[in-house]
């Protein structure tokens, strides 16, 4: 692991754990998925640092090593946390990389705060434009029955739920694409999450509509997604995001599951670093 410097106490009401490699390189902020933490970017931080970038990761409120308040798990608040991070560290010319749930913060950031600090963005296996299937969103890949099943599963037995969830997270066509050690590491990160925060964020990423946010994304954009993603299926998410963001680039990882930044780390890093270099 690359040596990193942790920053604490950036927020008056909620302290978020931030890891910052520092240095003079252009900043890349990595926004993790549900229900993990900034540590889930362990395959990306060394590669990006070696390529000369300043890499910043943080744990979303309620997850990892951050404070776990009782509220604030809507995307407007979560995006405000991200903006506070950028302003407190005075990050300019930033690339925001949002994985899965983190893609929601990237989309909402464009609407709420514009592109003054942002050079480019990446949607990685991300939830936009709108997961929940409904009459006005027939292509949404998540139906109410599946959403209810996730909620009840987490409430009834966290151990069993996270075991099943991480297996699906890293599997393509029923085959686990990471080592068992890597899957166990993800389970350990999931268990750092506050249960209330996990449930509230589950609701947020399932039911938040980002269709009006995506046209506000006007900076260079990369969409990277696995074609075997069973958690956030490509057809209903990455493909639609690519179509909604004018001029965006699309890279589809063949055989990539949801957790493609781990299962296909070399390809993911190569494509990301190539995009950053342009």
Active site residues: 100, 229, 258
> What span, in angstroms and rounded, lies between the C-alpha atoms of 202 and 157?
16
C-alpha torsion sign, points 32, 271, 167, 3: negative
């Amino acid at each position: 692991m690359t040596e990193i410097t942790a920053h604490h106490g950036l927020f008056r009401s909620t302290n978020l754990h931030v890891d910052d490699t520092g240095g003079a390189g252009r900043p890349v902020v990595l926004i993790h998925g549900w229900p993990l933490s900034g540590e889930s970017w362990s395959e990306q931080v060394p590669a990006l640092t070696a390529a000369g970038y300043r890499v910043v990761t943080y744990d979303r409120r309620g997850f990892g090593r951050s404070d776990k308040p009782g509220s604030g798990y809507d995307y407007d608040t979560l995006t405000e946390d991200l903006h506070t991070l950028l302003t407190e560290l005075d990050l300019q010319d930033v690339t925001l990389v949002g994985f899965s749930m983190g893609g929601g913060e990237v989309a909402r950031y464009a609407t709420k705060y514009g592109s003054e600090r942002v050079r480019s963005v990446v949607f990685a296996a991300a939830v936009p434009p709108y997961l929940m299937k409904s009459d006005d969103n027939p292509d949404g890949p998540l139906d109410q029955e599946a959403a209810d099943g996730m909620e009840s599963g987490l409430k009834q037995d966290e151990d069993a739920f996270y075991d099943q969830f991480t297996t699906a997270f890293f599997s393509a066509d029923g085959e686990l694409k990471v080592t068992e050690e890597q899957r166990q590491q993800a389970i350990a990160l999931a268990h750092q999450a506050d249960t209330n925060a996990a449930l509230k964020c589950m609701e947020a990423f399932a039911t938040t509509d980002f269709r009006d946010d995506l046209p506000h994304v006007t900076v260079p954009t990369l969409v990277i997604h696995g074609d075997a993603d069973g958690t956030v299926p490509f057809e209903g998410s990455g493909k639609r995001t690519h179509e909604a963001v004018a001029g965006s680039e699309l890279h589809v990882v063949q055989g990539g599951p949801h957790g493609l930044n781990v299962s296909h780390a070399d390809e993911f890093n190569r494509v990301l670093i190539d995009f950053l270099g342009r």
